[in-house]
A and B are shown apart, each in its own frame.
Chain A
């Protein structure tokens, strides 16, 4: 059986937020460290253990985490860690070397704390849709609560001291996951995203740095963390993100006005494959779901919600499919499946989920 607690971490995808047709989610992150304790990359295992225990104790006293989840990653199977990574809740580094690393989630999966990633603590507020100010306020509240229990390394000149100088100062990273299919189709997406660097921002793929990008999903975030207040960082970020969102919406309108038949054709073909194919790879499924998402926004599929597609985009990932197969067969977590078995299970899952609603 696959750990049901880990599956419950999917729930953060269920909430609905503003601008969901373009923005999947918003997250705000604070990086914090203990003073005079070696940063995780340089710390001894005993130091890391002490940090993990200290944070765990502080979180026990934190009302926001009452009834929440605590994962000591070393006690979780490789599959479980991959599953959490696919849910964007742990980083690839934490997945690969889990020793003395931890993840804490609030009951509603709105707040997360990663322990001993690049910094001792990385606190997150996760929000659906476009909610940068709400996410900022939540992460500030979380930091305020934890700072009553824990000392954080701070210098009046440099601000909060982080393992990498690219995070120094506020330690704040605000990011949104965007779906930009129209900008991608028109090939103007590169230009838009490349220009972000001049504004102190950056773009990445669906699963962070150096990841492949299927179907026009991009994560954009601020790069500058020093010399600006949290509010200024989020103001700047929001203004730029809103412009990108507006460009994408404009492009979608133009696409539908000028090439409606072609768009309809592509979207319905995607739907046809998703609801009838017997074998689907992750890449193909993601690309088709991206087209379907565009169709949902255009109103072709009133029975399918954006949230459902967001959930499917994660559910078709390799470890999610493996976990589902293990639960279906009752096998133990070590059971490996062939690519074909997984592609078959992925196709079956998509058929079931997309055809279960009322058809037009």
Chain B
């Protein structure tokens, strides 16, 4: 088997695969463990490997502790969030998967979007709506619908249709962006 070289230092053998989502595309980067430590936010403290090699036990422990504290700080920052209406802590949702009230959806939107994608493979409602609120006509829903059609067209190798759908998607995206630039930044990739 051909051993991959680290794509950063180009010297060491790559042992870590870092996957990133950039503009809706999955990017895979192969790194050696040292480079991975340097650039990945999820990796163990910097220089730990060198410290271990150097036998500096106290420094290793200190680095680990600091790392753990930082991690804990990051966690508690998220955990402290509560729904302003029912007071449900986000932590409780994470433990049980049960929300406290309808307003929790707004309070924890970012977390819920991830979970909804995981369970349903989608994050936008396409079904019936209360009379007067027609979800079918929302441009975001229409966009989702077009994307689905595009997937089908590509799968069927109907490239003529796919090209037409791609143009429609482009047009719709531009419209949404015009109407609500902030929202489109976070929701449309």
In this assembly, does B115 line the interface, its C-beta being within 8 Å of a C-beta of chain A?
A: yes
Give, as a whole number of angstroms, the nearest-CB distance from A296 to chain B.
39
Which stretch, B21-29, B60-68, B123-131, touches the partner chain A? B123-131
In this assembly, does A353 line the interface, its C-beta being within 8 Å of a C-beta of chain B?
A: no
Give, as a whole number of angstroms, the nearest-CB distance from A43 to chain B.
8
Give, as a whole number of angstroms, the nearest-CB distance from A352 to chain B.
46
Give, as a whole number of angstroms, the nearest-CB distance from B160 to chain A.
24
The 7 closest A-B pairs by CB, nearest first: A227-B122, A159-B125, A153-B102, A170-B127, A226-B120, A161-B102, A42-B100
Query: Which chain B residues border A157 with CB–CB below 8 Å?
Result: 123-125, 140
- Please determine whether A166 and B121 come into contact, CB atoms closer than 8 angstroms: no
- Please determine whether B86 and A156 come into contact, CB atoms closer than 8 angstroms: no
- Please determine whether A156 and B116 come into contact, CB atoms closer than 8 angstroms: no
- Please determine whether B100 and A226 come into contact, CB atoms closer than 8 angstroms: no
Contact of A33 among B102, B126, B130, B135 (CB under 8 A): B102
Q: Please give 15 more A-B residue pairs, beta carbons under 8 A apart, in addition to A42-B86, A166-B97.
A: A42-B100, A155-B106, A156-B125, A156-B129, A158-B123, A162-B99, A168-B105, A224-B122, A226-B119, A226-B120, A226-B124, A227-B121, A227-B122, A229-B126, A229-B127
Contact of A164 among B88, B99, B131 (CB under 8 A): B99
Contact of B102 among A36, A140, A225, A233 (CB under 8 A): A36
State how many residues of chain A have any CB contact under 8 Å with chain B: 42
In this assembly, does B103 line the interface, its C-beta being within 8 Å of a C-beta of chain A?
A: yes
Against B, the Cβ 8 Å flags (1 = close, 0 = not) of A15-35 are: 000000000000000000111
In this assembly, does B75 line the interface, its C-beta being within 8 Å of a C-beta of chain A?
A: no
- Tell me, in angstroms, the Cα distance from A24 to B103 when the chains sit together: 39
Q: Which residues 1-33 in B have Cβ within 8 Å of A in the complex?
A: none
Against A, the Cβ 8 Å flags (1 = close, 0 = not) of B131-147 are: 10101101011001000
Which of A34, A154, A156, A165 gathers the greatest number of chain B CB atoms within 10 Å? A165
Q: Which residues 224-263 in A have Cβ within 8 Å of B in the complex?
A: 224-230, 232-233
Query: Which chain A residues border B124 with CB–CB below 8 Å?
Result: 157-158, 226-227
Give A contacts to B, CB under 8 Å.
33-39, 41-42, 118, 140, 147, 152-166, 168-170, 172, 200, 223-230, 232-233
Give, as a whole number of angstroms, the nearest-CB distance from B122 to chain A.
2
- Tell me, in angstroms, the Cα distance from A168 to B141 when the chains sit together: 15
- Please determine whether B125 and A230 come into contact, CB atoms closer than 8 angstroms: no
- Please determine whether A170 and B128 come into contact, CB atoms closer than 8 angstroms: yes
- Please determine whether A163 and B99 come into contact, CB atoms closer than 8 angstroms: yes
State how many residues of chain B have any CB contact under 8 Å with chain A: 35
- Tell me, in angstroms, the Cα distance from A140 to B123 when the chains sit together: 22
In this assembly, does B101 line the interface, its C-beta being within 8 Å of a C-beta of chain A?
A: yes
Give, as a whole number of angstroms, the nearest-CB distance from B140 to chain A.
7
- Please determine whether A159 and B135 come into contact, CB atoms closer than 8 angstroms: yes
Query: Which chain B residues border A147 with CB–CB below 8 Å?
Result: 130-131
In this assembly, does B42 line the interface, its C-beta being within 8 Å of a C-beta of chain A?
A: no
- Please determine whether B128 and A140 come into contact, CB atoms closer than 8 angstroms: yes
Q: Could you list 6 examples of A-B contacts with CB < 8 Å? A: A157-B125, A158-B116, A165-B97, A168-B116, A230-B127, A233-B127
- Tell me, in angstroms, the Cα distance from A26 to B51 when the chains sit together: 64
- Please determine whether B120 and A169 come into contact, CB atoms closer than 8 angstroms: yes
Give, as a whole number of angstroms, the nearest-CB distance from B29 to chain A.
29
Contacts known (A147-B130, A154-B133, A157-B125); A39 close to B116, Cβ less than 8 A = no
- Tell me, in angstroms, the Cα distance from A80 to B126 when the chains sit together: 40
- Please determine whether B123 and A37 come into contact, CB atoms closer than 8 angstroms: no
- Tell me, in angstroms, the Cα distance from A154 to B61 when the chains sit together: 51
Contacts known (A42-B88, A227-B123, A230-B127); A156 close to B101, Cβ less than 8 A = no
Contact of B99 among A36, A39, A170, A228 (CB under 8 A): A39
- Please determine whether B128 and A229 come into contact, CB atoms closer than 8 angstroms: yes
Contact of A200 among B85, B88, B121, B128 (CB under 8 A): B121
Query: Which chain B residues border A153 with CB–CB below 8 Å?
Result: 102
Contacts known (A156-B129, A156-B135, A157-B140); A226 close to B98, Cβ less than 8 A = no
- Tell me, in angstroms, the Cα distance from A42 to B125 when the chains sit together: 25
- Tell me, in angstroms, the Cα distance from A228 to B125 when the chains sit together: 7
- Tell me, in angstroms, the Cα distance from A37 to B104 when the chains sit together: 11
- Tell me, in angstroms, the Cα distance from A84 to B131 when the chains sit together: 34
- Please determine whether B97 and A38 come into contact, CB atoms closer than 8 angstroms: no
- Tell me, in angstroms, the Cα distance from A161 to B122 when the chains sit together: 15
- Tell me, in angstroms, the Cα distance from A138 to B138 when the chains sit together: 26
- Tell me, in angstroms, the Cα distance from A166 to B96 when the chains sit together: 12
Query: Which chain A residues border B99 with CB–CB below 8 Å?
Result: 39, 161-165
Contacts known (A154-B129, A224-B119, A226-B123); A38 close to B86, Cβ less than 8 A = yes
Give, as a whole number of angstroms, the nearest-CB distance from B146 to chain A.
13
In this assembly, does B112 line the interface, its C-beta being within 8 Å of a C-beta of chain A?
A: yes
Give, as a whole number of angstroms, the nearest-CB distance from B126 to chain A.
5
Query: Which chain B residues border A154 with CB–CB below 8 Å?
Result: 129-130, 133
- Tell me, in angstroms, the Cα distance from A200 to B121 when the chains sit together: 9
- Please determine whether A226 and B122 come into contact, CB atoms closer than 8 angstroms: yes
